[in-house]
Amino acid sequence: MRSFMGMSPCAVVALRGLVLAGGLAAALVARAHDTWFERHPSSTPQRPVMVLGTGNQFPVVDSRNDIHSLVRSGCQSGAVVQGPLEEAEPRAEALVLSPPRELPRSPRVTCWAQLQPFEVDLVDGLVEVYFKEAMPPASVRQAWAAQRARGQPWRERYVKHARIEWFTEAPAAPAAPPAPPAPSGMGLDALMLQPLKPPRVGDDLEFLVLKDGQPMAQFSVEFRLQTSRLGLWRRTDDHGRVRLRAPSAGSWLLRGIELTPPEPGSREPLWQGLFITLAFEVRPLLRP
């Protein structure tokens, strides 16, 4: 089993001690981690295997998810949807998942997972670091400034959502067009709006971000490449769509965080956080 950086899960999990060193780092790790999928080699092509990992920054995984933390999950190939995902290697140092049965052959496959809610408290000094990871609108910062002025701490309930999409070796032009993506039931979701061919360097890629099944307008997302520590920030348009001209080949992650302030006048204010990631691959240019 290999990670996006070519490291084994054993190696990347070993980094956990380094990441968690110090109280400040531990608090940050507990809060700002993304959760994402990556492909894992499978001896049965029609039954894909994936790792669902969590880390401070893509692509390094530094903590293990638990199968019991998944509240909904599944895969779609063509018009067939299967779920929930099952744990494929219970003793692995990362959560390894697969659909319950073989999927039909299709040029494109997607899988998803939503984790159960968790609650966390943040010290004031870490909230600004958190904002840099989320790029929230000014209204969110203003709400936090007012809450802080009242002497109220940051408390939050957050939910992680993850999706992965990939293209198989099935014919690029199937006899019948594929079915549209099935509703995942996830609170926050992201889809690649791409023709039936693998994306390549220089392609104009388009994505759709959904909240409760509806397009999410003016939402900040970051695109990260496995080999770079610098991300590309974009914002969805009024129809929930966001575009990227793929600059490099490799494993990419679309990531975003929605932060919703507490109800005005709450005695014990509780923020709501929704995380979304979408993992996808960009292939090199075809040589003549």
Q: What is the DSSP string of 183-203?
A: P---SEEEEE---SS--BTT-
CA gap 235, 44 in Å, rounded: 38
What's the pLDDT at 20? 33
Closest CA to 241 of 270, 205, 267: 205
| Averaged pLDDT of the chain | 86
CA gap 222, 14 in Å, rounded: 27
Residue 29 has pLDDT above 80, yes or no: no
Least confidently predicted of 41-55, 167-181, 215-229, 243-257: 167-181
Residue 138 has pLDDT above 90, yes or no: yes
Residue 25 has pLDDT above 70, yes or no: no
What's the pLDDT at 171? 53
- Report CA torsion sign: 187, 190, 255, 57: positive
Decide: helix, strand or coil at residue 181. coil
Residue 217 has pLDDT above 70, yes or no: yes
**Exposure of 211 in the CB half-sphere (CA atoms within 13 A):** 16
CA gap 74, 121 in Å, rounded: 31
CA gap 192, 50 in Å, rounded: 18
Is-contact 15 5, C-beta < 8 A?
no
Residue 54 has pLDDT above 70, yes or no: yes
Residue-wise pLDDT tens digits, 233-274 = 999 999 999 999 999 999 999 999 999 999 988 888 999 999
CA gap 63, 117 in Å, rounded: 17
What's the pLDDT at 183? 86
Beta-carbon count within 10 A of 119 CB: 11
Decide: helix, strand or coil at residue 150. coil
For residues 156 and 33, the model is more confident at: 156
Residue-wise pLDDT tens digits, 61-120 = 988 999 999 999 999 998 999 999 999 999 888 899 999 999 998 888 999 999 999 999
Tokens linked to 182? 């099935």
What's the pLDDT at 194? 73
- Inter-axis angle of helices 124-134 and 23-32, to 10 degrees? 40
CA gap 172, 169 in Å, rounded: 8
How sure is the predictor about 288, in pLDDT bands with cuts at 50, 70 and 90?
low
Decide: helix, strand or coil at residue 144. helix
Tokens linked to 171? 């014919």
What's the pLDDT at 24? 41
| Mean pLDDT of the 45-63 span | 91
pTM of the model: 0.86
Residue percentage of the chain with pLDDT more than 70: 85
Closest CA to 105 of 77, 85, 74, 81: 77
Residue 17 has pLDDT above 90, yes or no: no
CA gap 25, 194 in Å, rounded: 38
| CA 27-94-6 angle, 5° bins | 100
Residue 181 has pLDDT above 90, yes or no: no
